[in-house]
Amino acid sequence: MNNYKMIIAYDGSRYKGWQRLGNGENSIQEKIETVLSRLLNTEIQIIGSGRTDAGVHARGQVANFHCKKRLDVDAFLNEVNRYLPEDIGVQSLEMVDEDFHARFSAKTKIYRYYIVNQAVHNPFVRKYALHIPEPLDIEAMQEAAAMVIGEHDFTTFTNAKSKKKSMVRRLDRLDIFFEGEYLIFEFEGNGFLHNMVRRLTGTLIQVGLEQIKPAAMGSYLKAQDRHKVTYIAEGKGLFLESVAYDD
């Protein structure tokens, strides 16, 4: 059985997220699987590096699938993109080792959250950035961000409620900086829980708006109580930028 790795970009605005949910749900996974299954004349299931929520975008989502046929990857890549919706594009396709797994083989992921922090919003980026017209205290947000770097139990910052699943993750960095008109929060870590980035972002925004003190970030983390977080940033400003693997 041959194993193929894809890097995928998508605009998540009109989808209910990455994961195929059944019952005709509009997901990115379902759109790609439908095209692959039709082209290969057999049912294909793809494995993503992780789930993205409704409205969340990706520049570098990674997925893999298995099939018996040995593909001409360049020609097949063109065929796949011909039939996919215009808001989903497979950026690359390659054959990889049989034991490669898009999720379990991943070492680190990078997410970016985009904010337009100015009085007047640019209407042409309304689907891809959160508009905050009030001034934000960048130094206070950076102070708060430093408190969650490292390996922690992120129960406070997730919607996941499983008692069996570990809530411990390692956040290697959380950088806050301007790039053009955007204020960007860039997260890099070994894995992210459901809604973790959006909850962290929402709390940082509250710090920036001086609604809570920077020290609240640390106390929320220690509390391990998801009810502490009162603001979850919208999905539209979030992008899965890249997923890294061992060579």
Cite the active site residues: 53
Count CB neighbours of 121 within 10 A. Answer: 14
Q: Are strands 47-48 and 88-96 parallel, antiparallel or unpaired?
A: unpaired
Q: How many helices (H) and strands (E) does the chain have?
A: 5, 10
Q: Provide the CB-side half-sphere exposure for 77 (13 A, CA).
A: 15
Contact 196, 129 (CB under 8 A): no
The candidate with the shortest Cα–Cα distance to 171, out of 149, 145, 192, is 149
Residue 71, phi-psi category: left (phi > 0), alpha (psi -120 to 50), beta (remainder) = beta
Stretch (H or E) spanning 201:
helix 196-208
